[in-house]
Amino acid sequence: MTQKPQNITLREIFSPGGLISQQLEAYEFRQEQLQMAHEVARAFTASEHLIVEAGTGVGKSFAYLIPAISLALKAEQKVVISTNTISLQEQLVTKDIPFLQRVLPRDFNVVLAKGRRNYLSRRRLKNLMNYERGLFDTREEVEEIAEIQEWVDRTVDGSRSDLPWQPQPQVWDKVVSDRDNCLGRNCETYETCFYFKARREMYNADLLIVNHHLLFSDLAIRKDSEAAMSVLPDYDYLIIDEAHHLEATATNHASIDFSNTRVKWLLDSLYNERSEDGLAKRFDSRQLRTQVETAREQANTLFRTIIETMQEEIGSEGNSNNLTPRIHRSNFVKNVLDTPLADIEKTLKRLRDDAMTDDDEQEITAHQHYCRRLRDELDMIIRQSDPDYVYWAEISTRGRTPRILLNATPANVNQMLQDHLFTVKNSIVMTSATLSTNRNFAYFKKRVGISESRELLVHSPFDFKRQVQIHIPRNMPHPNSHGFVPAAIEKIKHYLKLTHGKAFVLFTSYKMMDEVYDAVAPDLEEIGIDTFIQGGELSRTAMLEAFREDTDSVLFGTSSFWEGVDVRGASLSNVIITRLPFEVPTHPVMEARVKQIKEEGGNEFFEFSLPEAILRLKQGFGRLIRTQTDNGIVAILDPRIRTANYGKQFLESLPNCEIVEE
Ligand code: SF4
């Protein structure tokens, strides 16, 4: 057997005739890929942060994986790689990494890390079967638990994705591995515990693949408690792919939400009225049962008052079935739920002190902690105790049970990211195809709070001049004028006939999408072009599948189709951008961000709305060319791209293409 050489340079791996090309027939050497790999390696060696925008086709995953593997092996450093989407994670784990394991000279160990709540707790399942079967409301739920009980003997890793079907959230919740409800080494099933087995594997890994959600769960725990409680093993080197989602994920994680469903979950677990089961029954506590009944009444009063207050505040504006109002004043409702929850907490503490077994003690403690958390969160939101947060509600009264959520969201996460990420890690590489605006990273850096970093813009190796024409029609009315939609309809018909379908028509509002669709679809169907519209009969995935198969069809979509959609080949040869994607800041958090910029003397248009819209346009544009052989047109119907003084910034942020003004 021939020995693979041990010390190999990046050039020897990437260059023509190098290790990759020997194993990958379709491989083409790309200078841009090698340049990115060198920069990643340099950032690791110099312990610096690096921001890389890598256009489509650069092959950025190999460009960061290979330096990461090299660092892990040479310096015995664990490298964490975080992605936003499951599809990228799957690409890394099932395609890119197995290929590199065949090609590279040394073996390395990669683990896909999943969050704790993905794993079943053997102890909780056993307890549920022994004492708490009556906690479920429906026959379906009871049957699901019975199926999980059968599956536990044959599952490989005890994780939810290993189940051939997906249980309802309230069922999985009862058996999931939960930090508050875990006996750790004292658990009788600790040795065979799925979660702790996965954890041991994580500690032995060279590369850990995680998603952004898990990355921030780990950071949140490290921020609030000691590292021993953390989700991930200690690490100093991190790669964040799909980094354009960094701010949004960090914001979600730092947010607090209090909902009627969480209150119901707690109260039903303590005493379920329908089945007359729960902790109160198990520990024979009449006092707890009475307290749960009182809490239920007060919760109803609280949530009813919240709906009435929010409806009053919003007046006749907005859809009364679906409200997302900002909560402007503290103590906007009286916190009538705090005392009943405090009484329950006291009773739980007493029951815990009297508990006869570790199992019982743990079960009660978990509920006590949950009760405490609910009290703290409700109190924080009602009193608006942190001035750096934006307080807002989400109320949906459609359906049988209203859904009421109170949220506290930080207006900015830059300081938090700086304190808990950028200043504590040796080197963080952030990459995506859309990070720069106007060919610099100033906006991205400001939003995520990074001041010192290396920067690299690697252009796509595709020949955009040959592959894409940008069409900008002349004489289009201003998008806010009455004449815009009728004129856009005519242009859309024209461009769709030009390519005989094969198009995405991207909108910024459902209203305009529906209006255009109604006007355009009948003509298209007449000439044999099928149409799909977001929100129609098909799900997003089914619609994309049908679009890929029917090579002459047209897809009308809004927000979720501007990014993360990959259609290769002739099915997509035309992307029509109806309006420049400026977002009207109506969401309370956006509103607060804009207000803050104004208060600091900044210009909210140039410092927020414009860069956000440029990034969005780049994402929409990026749908067209996914491979070297793709080609087509991008039609931009919004005249501001030519007439407004900022229009040039949009065009300069796109790859260099032929522009046709007609
Ligand atoms: S160790 Fe914790 S998570 Fe694992 S089975 Fe026991 S209680 Fe559940």
- DSSP letter string over 181-250? G--GGGSTTGGG-HHHHHHHHHHT-SEEEEEHHHHHHHHHHHHHS-GGG-SS---SEEEESSGGGHHHHH
Predicted confidence (pLDDT) at residue 6 exceeds the cutoff of 60: no
pLDDT greater at residue 1 or residue 408: 408
Q: Which protein residue's CA is at the shortest distance from atom 4 of ligand 1?
A: 193
CA angle 192, 195, 198 (to 5 degrees): 95
pLDDT of residue 2: 42
pLDDT tens-digit profile of 185-217? 889 999 999 999 999 999 999 999 999 999 999
* Percentage of residues of the chain with pLDDT beyond 70: 96
Ligand 1 residue neighbourhood (C-beta within 6 Å): 121-124, 177, 182-184, 187, 189-190, 193, 195-196
Q: Determine the length of the chain.
A: 662
pLDDT of residue 319: 56
Name beta bridge partners: 407: 257, 392
Cβ pair 488, 476 in contact under 8 A: yes
pLDDT of residue 209: 97
What sign does the CA torsion over 324, 329, 330, 332 have? negative
- Going from the C-alpha of 272 to that of each of 135, 261, 264, 373, 577, the distances in angstroms are 6, 14, 10, 21, 53
Counting from 1 in the atom list of ligand 1, the atom nearest the Cα of 187 is 6
Give the confidence band of 134 by pLDDT, cuts at 50, 70, 90: low
Scan for tokens 């229009």, then name that residue: 647
Q: What is the residue type of 584?
A: V
Range(s) within the chain of domains with CATH label 3.40.50.300: 464-661
The CA 186 to ligand 1 mean position distance, Å, reads: 9
Counting from 1 in the atom list of ligand 1, the atom nearest the Cα of 188 is 6
What sign does the CA torsion over 253, 254, 259, 265 have? positive
Kindly give, in sequence order, each residue whose CB lies less than 8 Å from that of residue 566, ignoring residues fewer than 6 positions away: 87, 626
The CA 406 to ligand 1 mean position distance, Å, reads: 32
> What does the DSSP assignment read for 584-621?
P--SHHHHHHHHHHHHTT--HIIIIIHHHHHHHHHHHH
Per-chain mean pLDDT for the chain: 91
Longest dimension (CA), the chain: 82
pLDDT tens-digit profile of 432-459? 999 999 899 999 999 999 999 999 999 9
- Our mutation pick for probing the ligand 1 site, out of 125, 177, 191, counting the most ligand atoms within 8 A of Cβ, is 177
Kindly give, in sequence order, each residue whose CB lies less than 8 Å from that of residue 595, ignoring residues fewer than 6 positions away: none
C-alpha–C-alpha distance, residues 574 and 501, integer Å: 8
Predicted confidence (pLDDT) at residue 286 exceeds the cutoff of 60: yes
Give the confidence band of 170 by pLDDT, cuts at 50, 70, 90: confident
Predicted confidence (pLDDT) at residue 583 exceeds the cutoff of 80: yes
C-alpha–C-alpha distance, residues 318 and 395, integer Å: 12
pLDDT tens-digit profile of 52-82? 999 999 999 999 999 999 999 998 899 999 9
Counting from 1 in the atom list of ligand 1, the atom nearest the Cα of 116 is 3
> What does the DSSP assignment read for 291-346?
HHHHHHHHHHHHHHHHHHHHHHHHTTSS-TTEE--B--STTSS--TTHHHHHHHHH
* Stretch 424-439: mean pLDDT: 95
pLDDT of residue 316: 54
* Stretch 473-489: mean pLDDT: 96
C-alpha–C-alpha distance, residues 159 and 163, integer Å: 7
Q: Which protein residue's CA is at the shortest distance from atom 6 of ligand 1?
A: 187
Is 10-113+425-458 a CATH 3.40.50 domain? Answer: yes
The CA 199 to ligand 1 mean position distance, Å, reads: 12
C-alpha–C-alpha distance, residues 434 and 554, integer Å: 25
- The CATH code for residues 464-661 is 3.40.50.300
pLDDT of residue 396: 87
The CA 195 to ligand 1 mean position distance, Å, reads: 7
- Our mutation pick for probing the ligand 1 site, out of 155, 172, 190, counting the most ligand atoms within 8 A of Cβ, is 190
pLDDT of residue 132: 65
Q: Which protein residue's CA is at the shortest distance from atom 2 of ligand 1?
A: 182
Counting from 1 in the atom list of ligand 1, the atom nearest the Cα of 194 is 4
Question: Residue 541 belongs to what H/E stretch?
Answer: helix 540-549
Angle between helical axes of 60-74 and 31-45 (0-180°, round to 10): 30
